[in-house]
Amino acid sequence: MIAVLCAISGMAAMVIAIFGRSLGEVGVMMVLVVWGAGALTFFGLCVAHAIDRTPKGKIPQVMSGLLFIWAGGSIVGPLLSGIAMRGAGATGLFGLSGLLLILLALIMVWRVSARAAPEEHQQEDWSPILPTPLASVELDPRNPDREAET
């Protein structure tokens, strides 16, 4: 799913980069909706995917690592975008975004084909959780130490 979202948003970004001036304002807005639907939604899927493969006791370390990666991207992204826009003009931003998203889609396809899915005993049972006030939420209900505290 991550690869599909990256590919869709990457192609939308490339459409804007290549045909943006001829699409007109409404056309660009429509393609931006497609770009945003893919590019702004896959981070949550990546986090869920990482947590699904993480041993129960290592979840805080994985989450802090993901936040460091996100922070690094927040620093490097604007620098690369500025360089791309200086070299290719206004279309450089979406050209860079499109290339990186398509590259990420290819990496995800390669990763899925190179690594086996987790075994059944490594997976937790899925159950829907209704929204609740933050004060009443357990951070990790799978934590056996939590049961000993109560």
The 3-class secondary structure across the chain, one letter per residue, is CHHHHHHHHHHHHHHHHHHHHHHHHHHHHHHHHHHHHHHCCHHHHHHHHHHHCCCHHHHHHHHHHHHHHHHHHHHHHHHHHHHHHHHHCCHHHHHHHHHHHHHHHHHHHHHHHHCCCCCHHHCCCCCCCCCCCHHHCCCCCCCHHHHHHC
Question: Tens of pLDDT along 89-114?
Answer: 878 888 998 999 999 999 989 988 88
In a domain, 133, yes or no: no
Residue 48's identity, in one-letter code, is A
- Sorting pLDDT into bands at 50, 70 and 90, what band is 83? very high
Least trusted range by pLDDT, from 3-12, 17-26, 114-123: 114-123
In a domain, 28, yes or no: yes
Asked if 142 and 124 touch (Cβ cutoff 8 Å), the reply is yes
In a domain, 145, yes or no: no
In a domain, 35, yes or no: yes
User: According to the model, what pLDDT value does residue 147 have?
Assistant: 53
- Decide: pTM greater than 0.85: no
Domain range for 45 is 2-113
User: According to the model, what pLDDT value does residue 11 have?
Assistant: 93
In a domain, 57, yes or no: yes
Number of domains in the chain: 1
Asked if 85 and 77 touch (Cβ cutoff 8 Å), the reply is no
User: According to the model, what pLDDT value does residue 84 have?
Assistant: 92
- Sorting pLDDT into bands at 50, 70 and 90, what band is 139? low
In a domain, 36, yes or no: yes
Answer yes or no: is pLDDT of 141 > 80: no
User: According to the model, what pLDDT value does residue 149 have?
Assistant: 53
Answer yes or no: is pLDDT of 142 > 70: no
Distances (CA, A) of 30 to 12, 15, 27, 36, 111: 10, 11, 5, 10, 31
In a domain, 46, yes or no: yes
- C-alpha–C-alpha distance, residues 58 and 61, integer Å: 5
Answer yes or no: is pLDDT of 118 > 70: no
In a domain, 141, yes or no: no
